[in-house]
Amino acid sequence: MARHSCGYEANVLCKRCGSPLAYRERAGLYCPQCGRRVTTVCPGCGKVWT
């Protein structure tokens, strides 16, 4: 489960390996399994999820 700074929580899956993405400050959304960084727009506040 990844949590955005606005409070929105979503279970976002990695498109490459299907693992749940994690969120870390500064690094943003990333996949702990394959290390892929993901840029997406938060459905909660409409801002880029970084």
Judged by the rule CB under 5 A, the positions of this chain that interact with Zn ion are: 4, 6, 8, 14, 16-17, 19, 31, 33-34, 36, 42, 44-45
Q: Kindly state the smallest distance separating residue 14's Cβ from Zn ion, in Å.
A: 3
Minimum Å gap between C-beta 27 and Zn ion is 14
What is the C-alpha to C-alpha distance for residues 2 and 37, in angstroms, rounded to an integer? Answer: 13
In angstroms, give the least distance from the CB of 43 to Zn ion: 8
Cβ proximity of 11 and 20 under 8 Å: yes
**30 and 21 in contact (C-beta within 8 Å)?**
yes
